Chains A and B, each alone.
Chain A
Amino acid sequence: MLTLTRVEEAMTKGVGLGTSPGEEPARGRPDRESRETVGTVTVENPRMVCRGVNVFYGDKQAIRNVSIDIGRNEVLAMIGPSGCGKSTFIRCLNRMNDTIEGCRVTGEILLDGVNIYDRKVDVVPLRAQVGMVFQKPNPFPKSVYENVAYGPRIHGLARNRAELDEIVERALRKAGLWDEVKDRLHEPGTGLSGGQQQRLCIARTIAVNPEIILMDEPCSALDPIATSVIEDLIFELRTQYSICIVTHSMQQAARVSQRTAYFHLGDLIEVGPTDRIFTNPRHPLTQDYITGRFG
Chain B
Amino acid sequence: MSKTQGHPRAGKTPENSRTIAVVRASLPRRYRSERRFRLLGLAAVVLSLGFLALMFASLLANGVSAFRQTEIRLPVHFDPEVLHAEALAQADYGQLIRASLGRLFPDVEGRRERRELAALVSSAAVYDLRDLVMRDPGVIGQTREVWLKAGADIDMAVKGHFRRDLPEAERRVSDRQFAWLERLAAEGRLEKRFNRTFFTAGDSREPEQAGIWGAVSGSFFTLAVTLMLSFPIGVAAAVYLEEFARKGRITDLIEVNINNLAAVPSIVFGLLGLAVFLNFLHLPRSAPLVGGLVLTLMTLPTIIIAGRSALKSVPPSIREAALGVGASRMQTVLHHVLPLALPGMLTGTIIGMARALGESAPLLMIGMVAFIVEIPKGFTDPATVLPVQIYLWADSPERAFVERTSAAILVLLAFLVVMNAGAIWLRKRFERRW
B327 contacts A154, CB within 8 Å? yes
A216 to B156, CA, bound (A): 80
Within 8 Å of chain A (Cβ to Cβ): is B68?
no
B320 contacts A127, CB within 8 Å? no
User: A150 contacts which of B247, B319, B335, B434 (Cβ < 8 Å)?
Assistant: B335
A131 contacts B340, CB within 8 Å? no
- The answer to whether A125 and B326 touch (CB under 8 A), given A101-B247, A140-B336, is yes
B residues in contact with A151, CB < 8 Å? 325-327
Instruction: Fill in one digit per residue for A87-130: 1 if any B CB lies within 8 Å of its CB, else 0.
Output: 00000001010010100000000000000000000011111100
Within 8 Å of chain B (Cβ to Cβ): is A139?
yes
B434 contacts A142, CB within 8 Å? yes
A155 to B326, CA, bound (A): 8
A154 contacts B331, CB within 8 Å? yes
Within 8 Å of chain A (Cβ to Cβ): is B58?
no
Instruction: Fill in one digit per residue for B114-133: 1 if any A CB lies within 8 Å of its CB, else 0.
Output: 00000000000000000000
A232 to B410, CA, bound (A): 70
Within 8 Å of chain A (Cβ to Cβ): is B160?
no
Counting chain B CB atoms within 10 Å of each CB, the highest count among A134, A140, A142, A207 belongs to A140
B317 contacts A141, CB within 8 Å? no
Chain B, residue nearest A148 (CB): B325
9 A-B pairs with the lowest CB-CB distances in the bound complex, closest first = A128-B326, A151-B325, A138-B317, A127-B326, A141-B434, A138-B321, A132-B324, A124-B328, A188-B434
Residues of chain B at interface, number, CB under 8 A: 21
A96 contacts B320, CB within 8 Å? yes
B318 contacts A140, CB within 8 Å? yes
Q: List 18 A-B contacts (CB under 8 A).
A: A94-B324, A96-B324, A99-B319, A124-B327, A124-B328, A127-B324, A132-B324, A138-B315, A138-B318, A138-B321, A139-B321, A140-B322, A150-B322, A150-B327, A154-B331, A188-B434, A201-B321, A205-B325
B residues in contact with A99, CB < 8 Å? 316, 319-320, 323
Overall SS of chain B's interface: helix
Q: Min CB distance, B11 to chain A, in Å?
A: 29
Chain B, residue nearest A151 (CB): B325
B residues in contact with A125, CB < 8 Å? 326
Chain A, residue nearest B336 (CB): A140
B residues in contact with A138, CB < 8 Å? 315, 317-318, 320-321
Within 8 Å of chain B (Cβ to Cβ): is A212?
no
Chain B, residue nearest A91 (CB): B320
Within 8 Å of chain B (Cβ to Cβ): is A204?
yes
B328 contacts A131, CB within 8 Å? no
Counting chain B CB atoms within 10 Å of each CB, the highest count among A124, A139, A201, A208 belongs to A124
Within 8 Å of chain B (Cβ to Cβ): is A73?
no
A residues in contact with B319, CB < 8 Å? 99
- The answer to whether A208 and B326 touch (CB under 8 A), given A140-B336, A141-B340, A190-B434, is yes
Known pairs A126-B326, A134-B324, A188-B434. 11 more at Cβ < 8 A? A96-B320, A99-B320, A138-B315, A139-B321, A141-B433, A142-B434, A151-B327, A154-B331, A154-B335, A207-B325, A208-B325
B residues in contact with A150, CB < 8 Å? 322, 325, 327, 335
A134 to B328, CA, bound (A): 18
Q: Min CB distance, A76 to chain B, in Å?
A: 19
B220-239 contacts to A, CB under 8 A, are none
Within 8 Å of chain B (Cβ to Cβ): is A136?
yes
